[in-house]
Amino acid sequence: MKEFLTTAVFKLVVTATAVIQFFLATPKQTVTPPSPIHLPQIAEVQQIPEVVLPDPFSVLSPENFQVENIPREKFFPLIPKKVTSRQNSVPQVATSKPQILDPRLHGWDLTNAKIAPAVVNIFCTLQTGNIIRTSTGSGVVIDPRGVILTNAHIAQYLLLADTTTNPKTNCTIRSGNPAKGNLSAKLLYISPAWMSEHGGDLLNPSPVGTGEYDYALLLETGNAHPFSPLADENENTDSGEDTILAGYPSPFTSLSSRDNLSFLSVLTQIEKTQGFRGNGNDLLYFGGSLLAERGSSGGPVINEDGKVLGILVTATPGITVASRESRAISASYIQKDFREENGTSIQEFLSGDLNTARANFMNQYGNSLGARLLQNFN
């Protein structure tokens, strides 16, 4: 019995020694840690770095579109919007039809239900030869006669359509969930300052900008449209202010994606503000959300009263939407810059006959700004 135990212990020691030698002899595999992703530093007051305009023709690959760890926001249900047929004339006097809302809604849910029908998708195609490029963005109706506030880098395609038939450009205004409709619009106003700086970037797959001057007005054809009014210049846009961000985000921009774009809105906060020329609230900063995505540009920033505090304009790079930072230009900045550029307020510009206002703008700027865009094809 003693010999049997001695033999068993000896075999156990030999086996353990063999296992230890095996692991010691096996070469260790080294794992190279992933390279860190470097995002632009938070802009100082003195200088605003240029960041990505999230609606160029290039698209994100599917494996790079991830949604995770998105902080503090409420995702509202997708609210369907009825799309009605409209005539091809632009009425000069119109009132928005009253909405029938669920009486159980209150607070931000009620605000979201009110503003959802005013948010539109702007889908454009640009054909050169056998190549068809697509671009999608967002906008918000700010006047019941069909005036849409959006970004200049979205509206430039409507300027191109007004300028030439070669290349062939077509833009449609859509709404609903998913976005539907085939409504037309014309350029009412685009910032000449933005066109001067960025008009040569039309075909750039990765355009960048600070958001300065990046706004425009479109005139949609048709009947009265639900709208969200532009906030006053002194409306509160302080850090910590609760807001709704809304739009039609789309990680993939193609003809096939056109029929699958849905309205999305989130409740979030203004993280900080910044001025283009020193202190101010020209730029509004927001943390990561599903609105930090292509297609959201031109989408509104809304306060609880349903007023438009600004429009989304740029986003920092990031593999996930949670790691990106969205920026919007404020309504106060847009109104201030419009007045400095034109010597009149947006309200005065929109107070008269809109077709006349459009004709006057195109007569003054149409040819020169259109020629700036055509240089992209030389």
Q: What is the pLDDT of residues 35-72, one digit of tens each?
A: 333 333 333 334 555 555 555 433 222 223 233 333 33
CA 328 to chain centre: 9
Q: To 10 degrees, the CA torsion angle through 153, 159, 161, 164?
A: -120
* All residues at 6 or more sequence positions from 244 whose CB lies less than 8 Å from its CB, including other chains: 76, 108, 111, 112, 115, 265, 266, 267, 268, 300, 301, 302, 303
pTM, two decimals, is 0.75
pLDDT in tens, 140-168: 999 999 999 999 999 999 999 988 888 88
The pLDDT of residue 212 is 94
Residue with tokens 């085939």: 182
* More confident site: 137 or 69: 137
The average confidence (pLDDT) of the chain is: 76
Query: Which CATH architecture describes the domain 51-82+108-372?
Result: Beta Barrel (2.40)
* More confident site: 268 or 316: 268
Beta carbons of 138 and 151 less than 8 angstroms apart: no
Q: Give the confidence band of 233 by pLDDT, cuts at 50, 70, 90.
A: confident
The pLDDT of residue 105 is 60
The pLDDT of residue 48 is 57
CA 59-154-78 angle, to 5 degrees, is 70
Nearest to 215 by CA among 191, 241, 179, 240: 191
pLDDT in tens, 186-198: 999 999 999 999 9
State percent of the chain over pLDDT 90.
Answer: 41
Q: What is the mean pLDDT of residues 343-372?
A: 93
- Token pair, residue 113, equals 């239900």
- Token pair, residue 25, equals 């002899």
pLDDT in tens, 70-122: 333 444 443 333 333 333 333 333 444 556 555 566 688 888 888 999 999 99
Residue ranges covered by each domain of the chain:
51-82+108-372
The pLDDT of residue 256 is 60
List phi, psi (to 5°) of 283: -110, 135
